[in-house]
Structure 1
């Protein structure tokens, strides 16, 4: 069918008013949803929490798109879940469902033919069923072990046809399930990072100092008694803006930064006559290799420094860290 667009009679204010109307209708739908939450929601959360298998989320059409998002949110917040297309389920994918799973089926009307074709088989398999519909007396609601109501007064669509407020309500209720389960599990940032190793949070919470520190010949260091001019050469060669000062056992005695050197020149000090011991900072800031790299960021921010020495429990120098190393690793 060819659809022709009629000339628009809307001015800019009309367009903005239309958008405001949509957002207000959907916001009101969410507010109304908070008043309909009852023991059924609690039962659903408890059922999902006790699930020994996976949560199988399914829906058709627009509800299917929402179901995919709910499955993804559950999976990323500690509840193993996947989306199952009801059409494919009727042609073999039902074999993926076990008695240990819980099925979460979405349909605003509660009459989706594709879902109604497979849900009786789910029930015969003794798999628990949660449905999310807008009608408590719908066929899907009657089949379910737990029914979650997502009734809205009207869609944001001016024709009251396109799923808008109802899909927003479904999505929000899915988020509510996921977050309630997250809190019930005690799911924390580190758990979240394990599910998102490629994201910024994953890098911050899964990257350790040992992953980004410089080691071996990359570490700028000189021994006690070294001339200041030789120490300056070490700073220049290693390009970290500092050098560690160690004893013959490689234990850290101090540090000298390029900022310290600049201040010496500003005072007119003859650096040719000095040894590193005369100008180094004793007891420098250090960090362990087995702590999160984000802790190094916090330490640098707190003390307004750009470098850190990495030491073991015996204060032996094992690495060095520069703020640029942390930036390159995506930790900050």
Structure 2
């Protein structure tokens, strides 16, 4: 087996997507978890496009953190995607094809990704419930924070009116979002704010009480950060109200510190379930914050 860097091209982006689909298909069967970090519906063109976009984006910004494991006979059998953002290291993906699991492939990929983040003070990973995932991350020195997921059809009637303005975000809000990132997670997402708007709607609040932002699409929330729980509640409420009527949605990655988000979900009629872990090193659970499954 050899490890080679992920190339910024469509061929490698598709290779990573196929490994991910195979790996997380097995993960769902073993762990009963369709969430954190795993594609929800690999057959959907928009889901496949955002996974390929994520891979190419990170291959450009973090070539030292993105690797493919190649077996001489079987071909590509594993992939890892990681990033460094202002002293915060994030593991966006660690996937090993079912036939190559328990053979040291994941360990080798994880080790290479950790080398990429060796100078970072903080680290964050969204983990599935697959038994091997939290074990791997705990051995790497991460604290495991059990996570919840909100799912269901939004009942707008249960949500209170917004207590202030929520605006459509644009590229001019980049500095605002980076500032909120630094306050909540210790490091700005930086160039990730160029890729995320390609696939998600952006909601922004900015008033005398503080600021915040939220990325969402018609299936749920991808990332949310704010300077206060009040503003985070406003953003999450606005995002849920925007969901298509009758559509199943989800809000994953909620630790116990995100009770404000759980309360919004309860008001919206969503169900609460266990959903993997948010794994942290060198930092407390960001709050108020909902991590991105793609960019943490």
TM-score category, normalised to shorter length: under 0.3
Q: More helix per residue: 1 or 2?
A: 1
* Greater Rg over alpha carbons, structure: 1
Per the normalisation by structure 1, the TM-score is 0.24
